[in-house]
């Protein structure tokens, strides 16, 4: 980790001194960090470093502008390396979002092969599409595994995190219908997980429909289409998120006028 940070700083200084070779040095350092992070399994820093590599590749090919904002972003990346070197396991989610946003917006003259179709109001590069697909598939796989039919336990925290993370990365690239459905699913999962309550058959069906819809929507994204909003399904999920605990409704309904004394 110490060597990688030294190589990143050395490459950054060369780039700031108008030497394009500095970008290659930063890429070598980040590739080493990505290898370390990926070897640590799920929930590691590997995704951050893959995004950073994509940013540096866009910088090398002219896909992002070498401006003062990018310099500040590189300084934040160096600070993240420093924190990891000091033993911190926390990954700066705001940094990840800002990197995704920066590589999600194509520069003024990108090579034709690097262009991809629109997602919402943002024109995306092929690189950011590939990053999004890889992360989205991972979150969907987690949701399908954690919410498999027949499970007798409440939804896990892992399922909630996967839904919220899918919503966050979808927001970053302008896939707002996916974001809205994923975050609604996250709210419903958080409610049932917080109450340690297993949803009834109707609730499980709604959760399953949401995951299946998110899978279909991700396939639409792969075809560079903006999926349609799933408004009724979002409403059903919000109904689950706001439902009273099991058994709380007994005796709490409106009074039957025939029973009034």
Across-strand partners of 123? 118
Boundaries of domain holding 222: 122-242
pLDDT score, position 151: 58
230/207 same-domain check: yes
In this structure, the answer to whether residues 71 and 154 fall within a common structural domain is no
Which residues, other chains included, contact 145 with Cβ-Cβ below 8 Å and sequence gap of 6+?
Answer: none
> Does residue 249 lie within any of the structural domains?
no
Q: Which long-range contacts (CB under 8 A, 24 or more apart) does 121-125 make?
A: 121/174, 122/173, 122/174, 124/173, 124/174, 125/58, 125/63
* pLDDT given at position 181: 95
Total residue length of the chain: 261
- Count: domains in the chain: 2
Question: Domain boundary residue among 110, 140, 158?
Answer: 110
- Across the chain, which has 261 residues, the per-10-residue mean pLDDT values are 85 87 89 71 68 88 84 89 78 81 57 44 60 82 81 76 85 82 92 70 88 90 80 91 57 39 38
- 79 and 100 inside one domain: yes
Are 102 and 57 contacting, i.e. CB atoms less than 8 angstroms apart? no
Tell me whether residue 213 is in a domain: yes
Q: Last residue of a domain, which of 110, 130, 164?
A: 110
Strand intervals (E) in the chain: 115-119, 122-125
Same domain as 150, residue 106 = no
Q: Which two tokens stand for residue 222?
A: 């792969």
Identify whether 115 is part of a domain. Answer: no
Whole-model pTM: value is 0.54
């Amino acid at each position: 980790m110490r060597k990688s940070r030294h190589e990143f700083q050395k490459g950054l200084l060369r780039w700031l001194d108008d030497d394009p070779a500095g970008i290659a040095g930063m890429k070598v350092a980040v590739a080493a960090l990505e290898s370390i992070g990926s070897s640590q399994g799920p929930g590691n820093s590997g995704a951050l470093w893959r995004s950073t590599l994509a940013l540096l590749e866009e910088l090398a090919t002219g896909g992002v502008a070498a401006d003062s904002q990018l310099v500040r972003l590189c300084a934040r990346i160096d600070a993240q390396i420093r924190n990891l070197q000091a033993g911190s396991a926390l990954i700066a989610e705001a940094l990840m979002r800002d990197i995704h946003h920066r590589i999600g917006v194509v520069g003024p003259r990108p090579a034709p092969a690097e262009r991809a179709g629109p997602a919402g109001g943002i024109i995306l590069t092929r690189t950011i599409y590939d990053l999004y697909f890889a992360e989205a598939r991972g979150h969907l796989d987690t949701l399908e595994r954690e919410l498999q039919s027949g499970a007798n336990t409440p939804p896990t925290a892992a399922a909630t995190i996967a839904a919220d993370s899918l919503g966050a990365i979808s927001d970053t690239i302008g896939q707002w219908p996916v974001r809205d459905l994923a975050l609604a699913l996250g709210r419903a999962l958080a409610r049932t997980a917080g109450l340690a309550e297993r949803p009834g058959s109707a609730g499980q069906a709604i959760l399953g429909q949401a995951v299946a819809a998110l899978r279909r929507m991700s396939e639409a994204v792969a075809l560079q289409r903006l999926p349609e909003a799933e408004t009724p399904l979002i409403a059903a999920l919000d109904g689950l998120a706001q439902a009273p605990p099991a058994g709380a409704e007994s005796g709490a309904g409106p009074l039957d006028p025939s029973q009034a004394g």
